[in-house]
Amino acid sequence: MLPLLLLLLACATPEVRPCLQCERTVKLMHDNYVLSEPDALKQIELQKIVDYADVTFRETSQSRMGVIDFTTLYRARTEYQSEFDRFLKSTTGSTNEAVQMMEKAREILEKHLDAFIPDGLCPNKCGLLVRRVMDCNSCLHKTYTCPSPTGQQHCGESRVNAEAGGQAVLDCFLPWHRLILGKPEYHYLWAPEVSKEKADFKVLVVTRDSSVVLNQLQVEERGTYQCLLKNQSGTVFYKVIFLLSVTALPTQGPRPVVTLPSLLYVHSLKWKDALVPVICLVIACSSAASLSLLFYAILLKNVWKRQKAKSLKRTNLLQSQFYSLRMHLNKKDWERQEKEVLESSGVKLTIELDQKKREKGKKTKLS
């Protein structure tokens, strides 16, 4: 069995590098594995196994559209690298183990392609998708077109309800829009008529954002809104219609006017005529109060002046009595008489104050 396998490997000459071999890291990984074998004959056998693996990779990719996207290729490469590292740590160096490893690599590629081709290559259920993929034969990037399954770019319509004064959000984004080549823009158009084909549409906005918000809606803004996704050359990839209906708010009746009762006055005067006497009365009362306060302040000031003059006169009289008594009496009699006069006049002097005065007088005599 082994000689037959080696004969097949010798006759197989790969024409191109398939998907996994499009990755430089995988190519270097295989080259290092072959060169790590010290025996030259063993290196030749391992190289033939690796080359035959390229053939199986190519046949696997060709049976599944022959293309792959960059995300799927990255996942397949990462898983294969992990398995190959595990193989290098556990291998005994036999060629059978190398053949099994290459077969496992083919199964990894087949698994990821089976997951990508049915749903990932052309995810557009409607509309036109033009995307970039890698050709597993040439290892070059190429443009791949996914036509609309329905044969047209129209992707249906939806109804949007809103109230007057409110807002409405129109969003026509689908995940596969990210895969479109170039920088397409969303064109929003509006027509007041309900008809979707013959209506005269007016361009509202052209933006890279997939959604628009209509604020402060009026009843007149209802109608048909179109969202077109197209590139600078005018190619339409996607189209959807929104039927917007704006409901008017219920009308409210006039609010009742609250009236205050009229101001009653003598002889049934109107409140405007009665307002003048009231203002005059308030001003008169304020003036009288101000004059009363002024008169009371002047009166208090005069009383305070009279009391101050009396107190000053009384103090001068006491001082004159003290001086006259001091002239006619000796020192002891003068002190006794001074104390009697002070007590009779109601003036209280402390003993400490008298002592301080005496000490001060002694100091002045000595000086």
pLDDT in tens, 346-357: 554 455 556 666
d(CA 15, CA 25): 20
Residues 107 and 188 both lie in one domain: no
- Which of the pair, 266 or 234, is modelled with greater confidence? 234
When pLDDT is averaged across residues 131-159 and rounded to a whole number, the result is: 89
* DSSP three-state, residue 138: coil
Is 129 domain-assigned? no
Ranking 219-228, 249-258, 352-361 by mean pLDDT, the lowest is: 352-361
Residues 238 and 315 both lie in one domain: no
Task: Note the pLDDT tens digit of each residue in 71-88.
Answer: 999 999 999 999 999 999
Residues 10 and 63 both lie in one domain: yes
The percent of residues in the chain predicted with pLDDT above 70, rounded, is 74
Is 136 domain-assigned? no
Asked if the model's pLDDT at residue 336 lies above 90, the reply is no
Sequence-separated (6 or more) residues with CB below 8 Å from residue 167: 213, 214, 215, 216, 217
- Average per-residue pLDDT in the chain? 80
Residue 211 — φ and ψ, nearest 5°? -125, 150
Tokens coding 143: 């443009």
When pLDDT is averaged across residues 227-255 and rounded to a whole number, the result is: 88
Residues 108 and 179 both lie in one domain: no
Helices marked H in 120-223? none
Is 146 domain-assigned? no
d(CA 58, CA 110): 11
Ranking 208-212, 257-261, 294-298 by mean pLDDT, the lowest is: 257-261
Which range, 143-152, 248-257, 319-328, is most confident?
143-152
Which residue, 97, 120, 143, sits at the end of a domain? 120
Is 21 in contact with 27 (CB distance < 8 Å)? yes
- Classify each residue of 131-169 as buried b or exposed e, where b means 16 or more C-beta atoms within 10 Å of its C-beta: bebbbbbeeeeeebebebeeeebbbeeeeeebeeeeebe
Asked if the model's pLDDT at residue 237 lies above 90, the reply is yes
- Which residue segment(s) compose the domain that 16 sits in? 2-120
Asked if the model's pLDDT at residue 16 lies above 50, the reply is no
- What pLDDT score was predicted for residue 235? 93
Is 219 domain-assigned? yes
- What pLDDT score was predicted for residue 7? 38
Is 313 domain-assigned? yes
Residues 13 and 114 both lie in one domain: yes
- What pLDDT score was predicted for residue 292? 83
Return the closest-CA partner of residue 147 out of 133, 127, 131, 132. 127
Residues 34 and 92 both lie in one domain: yes
Is 286 domain-assigned? no
- Residue whose entry in the numeric block shows the structure tokens 């013959």: 198
- What pLDDT score was predicted for residue 296? 81
When pLDDT is averaged across residues 269-286 and rounded to a whole number, the result is: 74
Return the closest-CA partner of residue 188 out of 164, 166, 167, 214. 214
- Classify each residue of 255-277 as buried b or exposed e, where b means 16 or more C-beta atoms within 10 Å of its C-beta: eeeeeeeeeeeeeeeeeeebeee
d(CA 60, CA 104): 13
Residues 10 and 58 both lie in one domain: yes
Classify residue 185 as left (phi > 0), alpha (psi -120 to 50) or beta: beta
Which residue, 218, 247, 276, sits at the end of a domain? 247
Pairing of strands 185-191, 223-230: antiparallel
- What pLDDT score was predicted for residue 242? 95
Residues 161 and 229 both lie in one domain: yes
Is 173 domain-assigned? yes
In this prediction, residue 17 has a pLDDT band, given cuts at 50, 70 and 90, of very low
Tokens coding 73: 């290729």
In this prediction, residue 55 has a pLDDT band, given cuts at 50, 70 and 90, of confident
- What pLDDT score was predicted for residue 357? 66
- What pLDDT score was predicted for residue 258? 63
When pLDDT is averaged across residues 253-268 and rounded to a whole number, the result is: 58
User: pTM for the full model?
Assistant: 0.58
- What pLDDT score was predicted for residue 4? 38
When pLDDT is averaged across residues 51-60 and rounded to a whole number, the result is: 87
Is 39 domain-assigned? yes
Residues 189 and 87 both lie in one domain: no
- What pLDDT score was predicted for residue 8? 38
Residues 186 and 97 both lie in one domain: no
Which residue, 103, 120, 137, sits at the end of a domain? 120
Domain count, the chain: 3
Residues 103 and 8 both lie in one domain: yes
In this prediction, residue 279 has a pLDDT band, given cuts at 50, 70 and 90, of confident
Residues 69 and 20 both lie in one domain: yes
Ranking 46-60, 120-134, 189-203, 323-337 by mean pLDDT, the lowest is: 323-337
Which residues is 252 bridged to in the sheet?
Answer: none
